[in-house]
Amino acid sequence: MKAVQDGAKGYRRLIPSLTALVEFEAVARLRSFTNAATELGVTQAAVSRQVRLLEEMLAVRLLDRLHRNLTLTKEGEALYAVVSESMGRIAGVFDRLSTGIEDEELVLAATAAFSHFRLMSSVGTLKRLNPNLRIRLTTTMFTADLRHNEVDAVVRFGNGNWSDGTSYLLFEEQVSAVCSPSWLKENGTPQTLAELMTCTFIADDPTSEGWLTWEQWFRALGERPGKLKYGLLTSLYPDAVQAALDGQGIVMGWNRLLHEHLASGQLVRVTAASLPLRDAYYLVVPHGRRITPTTQTLIELLRHAAGVT
């Protein structure tokens, strides 16, 4: 009995205030004393006092308090990673016990294009492998900030270096000009990029997904495009691809996204020209969340479905 009592005293000695940890986690996640106070239903002064209590107890600075910004110090990052993961696991247990639901839930975020062309088929396979898995999918127009979203993982396109999570490479990408076989048969095959620039293009709004434009694509390949002819402009990439499938023009072909369409011949490359991109697709797991076997399986499914061996 004495050993148990000593152990309990030891924990209380090392962690004197769970309230301070809860309020520190909110500040670190939201990067704001004001937003943390609003979320927790307390005053900003109370939150600041609890964080300072932790700093005094540890004799280290956890936050760099800049003029209009808060950043975590190295010590703050270390504490946040542990506290965030622990609180997430505790909250998960409370949720299962209070609702009586034992099924695992996976919350994902991705852009509309990635969700449409890559994620849905892999999610279906994942569900067949684990019938008790419940999946919640959030569609994002821009890169999701993991500090402000309760997600288990998010798909991003970029260099893999993000401060709010750990990145796991899915696959690299290259972009080609693609169209339907019927359009190519009717209009003929351009022999040069100069000839390609005279064709009718389909374009989507690149700001919604963070992608490049036709003008940028030609310039990256060493051409100086003049005024290109657009037969259709869409807000979302899936609509642009559907228009190309209907024979309405040439669409920008993100080869990994359109792997099945290209492999089946539904879409074909107009020319051999292709632009390899330095950025790639990543699955990003928020700091403080461990990568689960389910998430690891999803990574493998996504890579396989995109033709990565």
Quote the pLDDT of residue 17: 76
DSSP 199: S
Q: Hunting for tokens 């005024």 — which residue is that?
A: 227
Domain with CATH 1.10.10.10 in the chain: 2-85
**Stretch 248-254: mean pLDDT:** 96
Quote the pLDDT of residue 143: 61
175-217: per-residue pLDDT in tens?
999 999 999 999 999 999 999 999 999 998 766 555 789 999 9
Quote the pLDDT of residue 144: 59
Confidence of residue 14 (pLDDT cuts 50, 70, 90): low
- Collect all residues with Cβ–Cβ distance below 8 Å to 237 and sequence separation of at least 6: 112, 113, 204, 209, 211, 254, 257
Quote the pLDDT of residue 39: 87
Q: What is the pTM of this model?
A: 0.67
Give the right CATH number for 2-85 from 1.10.1740.10, 1.10.10.10, 3.90.1150.10, 1.10.760.10. 1.10.10.10
**Stretch 280-306: mean pLDDT:** 90
Domain with CATH 3.40.190.10 in the chain: 105-171+281-305, 173-277
Quote the pLDDT of residue 170: 95
104: nearest Cα among 75, 137, 136: 136
Quote the pLDDT of residue 171: 94
Please give the Cα distance from 227 to 103 (Å, whole number): 55
Quote the pLDDT of residue 286: 87
**In the chain, pLDDT over 70 holds for what percent of residues?**
84
Point out which residues pair with 135 in neighbouring strands. 106
- Radius of gyration (C-alpha) of the chain in whole angstroms: 25
CATH 3.40.47.10 fits 173-277, yes or no: no
78-124: per-residue pLDDT in tens?
888 888 777 766 776 676 666 655 567 888 989 889 999 999 989 99
Quote the pLDDT of residue 32: 87
208-243: per-residue pLDDT in tens?
555 789 999 999 999 998 899 999 999 889 999 999
Ranking 147-156, 165-174, 286-295 by mean pLDDT, the lowest is: 147-156
pLDDT at 11 over 60: no
pLDDT at 7 over 50: no
One-character DSSP codes across 55-112: HHHHTS--EEE-SS-EEE-HHHHHHHHHHHHHHHHHHHHHHHHHH---S-EEEEEEEH
Indicate the average pLDDT of the chain. 85
272-283: per-residue pLDDT in tens?
999 999 999 999
- Kindly tell me the burial class for residue 34, based on how many C-beta atoms sit within 10 Å of its own C-beta (0-12, 13-18, 19 or more): exposed
29-64: per-residue pLDDT in tens?
888 888 888 988 999 999 999 999 889 888 899 998
CATH placement of domain 105-171+281-305: 3.40.190.10
Quote the pLDDT of residue 288: 75
Confidence of residue 146 (pLDDT cuts 50, 70, 90): low
Quote the pLDDT of residue 3: 40
**Stretch 281-292: mean pLDDT:** 86
Quote the pLDDT of residue 238: 92
